Structure 1
C-alpha cells in the first residue's frame, strides 16, 4: 500500500467503485477498443483517426491512454462532442450511440485486475454495501457485473446516462447514498482517475482510494486520495487491517 496523508480511517460501511481502470485493467482491456473508436469516428480515415485519438489522450499507435485523458476519464458524450468538433464524420447523437455500442461490446475482452467475484463476496460478507459508478454507460456497467458474477453483491449500478450526472460532479455518490441510506462520510470511493477523486471530495465521501490499474499516475493521484493502492486486490486489507 502507498499511503496518502496520515489520517484516522473513518467508519466505512459502503464502497462505490469506478469500473474501467479500477475493476478492469484499463490498458490491457481498452487499448484495442480505443483504436477501434478512433477508426469508427473517422470512418476509416487513418490520419483523422490519429488526430481524434490524440485529442482524446490516446497514443494512436498503441491505443494506450495518457493520464486522465478524455477516453480514460470522460464519458461517451464528452468524447463524441470533442470528436465532432474536431471533424469526426458523424453527428453528435449518432456518434454517441455508436461509441456506446462499441464500448459495451468490449466487455467480452475486459481483463479484471483480480478475482472480482471473490473480492466482492468477501466485502459483502463484511457487511459493506457495494456499488459501481462509471463514466461508461449503465448498460456497459450491467454487462460487466454480469460477466464477472457481481450482480448479487451490488446495491447500486450507474453510468453517465443513469440520471445522476457525470464525473467529476458529486451526483453518482449522492445516488449511492440514496440507494443505501448511508451518509457520504461512511462511503469509500475507489477509482483510478482524478475525476473519481474529485467526485468523492465534492460529495464529502469518507475515504478516497486511488488505484494504479488505470491511466492515472501516482503523481496525479497521491495528492487527491487518502490511500493509494497498486490495485483493488489490496483494498480489503487497507480497509480492515
Structure 2
C-alpha cells in the first residue's frame, strides 16, 4: 500500500470506537440478562459467565464474545441455557435491549464528525451489532446524518473480521480501499481492514490493549479524537480546491 495516498473515507467501528465499550454494554448485559431470567440473579450471573461478563461487578473479560462478535454469535453462547426461548425471540430481545442501551460517547462526536466531513471525507460505520440498533444509537447521539454508510452484521455484507462491509462502503462511494481508513478497538476491526486493503487505526476505548492492537495497526491512538491530528501529521487529508 502507498502510504502517501490521500485518505478519502473513514470507516468507524461503533462499540468501543464511537462509544465507550464498557460504559455502554455493561448496562446492556446486566439489564438484558436480568430481564431474560425474570430477575433470577444467580441464573443471570451464570449466563453472564457464558458471555465473559461479571454480573456482580458489571465488567467484561477481555476475551468476551460480546466485544467483537455479532448478535447471533453472542446469542449462541447463552442459547443452550435458555432452551425455552426460541432463537428468533432471543435475538429480538437482545436487539431490543441493545437499541435502548445508554450510549456513552468516546469523545464528543458531533464536532469531530463535522470537522471530518468539512474536509471532504466520506464517513461510514461498520459494526457487528445489528443495523437497526446501530442506527438507533447514532440517532440518539444526534450524528446519524453525518454518516454516508451504516452497516450491521445483518445488512447483507457479512460481519467482521470478514471485509464485506468495508468493501461495500468503498464500492458504494467510488473509493479505492487504499483511500479508506478502518478505525476500531478490536482485532476483528483491524483484521477486516487488512483483508480489505485499507489503512488500520486502533483505539483504546474498548477492551483491547495497545500491545494487542499495535501489531495489526498502522497506529494506535488513545481515542478517535486524535484522528484529525494524525491525518495532519501524516499529510493525508484529501486534496480539495476549497482547502487553503
What is the TM-score when the length of structure 2 is the normalising length? 0.89
Aligned residue number for residue 79 of structure 2: 84
2:135 counterpart of 1:154? no
> Structure 1: which 5+ runs fail to align?
1-6
Query: Residue 125 of structure 2 corresponds to which residue in structure 1?
Result: 132
CA deviation after TM superposition for structure 1 residue 10, in Å: 4.0
Cα gap change, 1:193 to 1:105, in 2 (>3 Å): same
Match of 1:47 among 36, 42, 47: 42
Instruction: Name which of structure 1's ranges 35-44 and 218-227 shifts more when overlaid on structure 2.
Output: 35-44
Choose the corresponding residue for 1:210, options 169, 177, 202.
202
Residue equivalent to 1:142: 135
Does 2:227 correspond to 1:235? yes
1:220 aligns with 2:222: no
Q: Is the 8 A contact 1:190 1:211 kept in 2?
A: yes
Deviation for aligned residue 1:236: 0.9
Pairs within 5 Å for 1:65-144: 65-87=60-82, 89-106=84-101, 109-144=102-137
Q: For structure 2, which runs of at least 5 residues remain unmatched after alignment? A: 234-244
How many angstroms apart in 2 are the aligned matches of 1:68 and 1:116? Answer: 27
C-alpha separation between the residues in 2 aligned to 1:200 and 1:77? Answer: 22
Partners of 1:169 and 1:224 in 2: how far apart? 15
Shift of 1:39: 2.3
Deviations 1:5-46 (A, max 9, x none): xx9454211000011110111111221211122223434333
Bigger drift between 36-45 and 230-239 goes to 36-45
Number of equivalenced pairs: 232
Comparing 28-37 with 224-233, greater Cα deviation is found at: 28-37
Q: Give, in whole Å, the separation in 2 of the partners of 1:88 and 1:189.
A: 38
Residue-by-residue CA offset, 1:163-187 (whole Å, 9 max, x unaligned): 1101111111011112211111111
Bigger CA radius of gyration: 2
4+ runs deviating over 6 angstroms: none
The 2-side partners of 1:174 and 1:85 are apart by 35
Normalising by structure 1, we get a TM-score of 0.90
